[in-house]
Amino acid sequence: MGDRPAFVVLEGGDACGKSTQAQILVARLQSLGREVVATREPGATPAGAKIRALVLGGGDLDPRAEALLIAADRAEHVAEVIRPALARGAVVVSDRYVPSSLAYQGVARGLGVEEVARLSEWATGGLDPDLVLVMDVDPAAAAGRRAGPEDRMEREPDSFRVAVNEAYRDLAGRFGWRLLDGSASVDDVAEQVWAAVRPLL
């Protein structure tokens, strides 16, 4: 195993298992002696934390304003966290990235996938992940897993979650994202994740 940098993104609707799998994947990579940067969107930087509070904590937000705030968070994230980590040869594991914007803002909010893809590409300076893993879980089942207070996205109606889930499925083929069966056990999903990540190392 060399020390090639790698950029892995975990995706999917609310409560699909992103944080759970990120933790397992990071531990596995570290046990191989790799430097791993575990990060997330929105909110991985000081400016991003303020943006996260606006996007997830607040009241009404125009969909375009929401898309632009998330793009601003991402620009800061790429510049301050992701690019420097990749330049050091680290493995970056990000909980959400551009695919979230395409599914949530592009499709579920109705802003259009092409436009949001253009905005995202500008925000990132064209930085694409090496691998995007989407944990596909029936939205009703995922909602049943959730505990704790709901954020602004989680307060959206069931129809929003269904639209997000379908968007991930529809866009996966077009953008080369890997769809995993996220309804399997935590260990099973972790094996699916590892099988996909290993060849990158």
Ligand X SMILES: Nc1ncnc2c1ncn2[C@@H]1O[C@H](COP(=O)(O)OP(=O)(O)OP(=O)(O)O)[C@@H](O)[C@H]1O
Please, which residue, 11 or 76, has the CB nearer to ligand X?
11
Distance CA 12, CA 144 (A): 15
Peptide bond into 42 cis (omega under 30): yes
> Taking Cα atoms as reference points, which of 72, 175, 63, 152 lies closest to residue 112?
63
Decide if residue 150 touches ligand X (CB under 6 A).
Answer: no
Please, which residue, 5 or 192, has the CB nearer to ligand X?
192
Please, which residue, 5 or 161, has the CB nearer to ligand X?
161
N-term to C-term CA, the chain: 6
* Encoded tokens for 41: 């969107």
Decide if residue 6 touches ligand X (CB under 6 A).
Answer: no
* Encoded tokens for 5: 């940098």
Q: Which residues lie below 8 Å from residue 78, measured CB to CB, with a gap of 6+?
A: 123, 124, 125, 127
Please, which residue, 33 or 155, has the CB nearer to ligand X?
155
Closest separation in Å from C-beta 29 to Mg ion: 18
113 binds, among Mg ion, ligand X, none (CB under 5 to 8 A by kind): none
Choose the binding region for ligand X from 68-76, 84-92, 101-109, 183-191 (rule: CB under 6 A).
183-191
Q: Where are the alpha helices (DSSP H) in the chain?
A: 18-31, 46-52, 63-77, 83-87, 98-100, 113-124, 139-145, 158-175, 186-197
Decide if residue 30 touches Mg ion (CB under 5 A).
Answer: no
Please, which residue, 19 or 30, has the CB nearer to Mg ion?
19
Decide if residue 186 touches ligand X (CB under 6 A).
Answer: yes
20 binds, among ligand X, Mg ion, none (CB under 5 to 8 A by kind): ligand X
Contact 70/122 with Cβ under 8 angstroms? no
Interacting positions 10-39 with ligand X (CB under 6 A): 14-20
Out of 3, 4, 19, 125, name the contact with Mg ion by CB under 5 A. Answer: 19
Report how many residues bind ligand X under the rule CB under 6 A. Answer: 11
Contact residues toward ligand X (CB under 6 A) are 14-20, 145, 185-186, 189
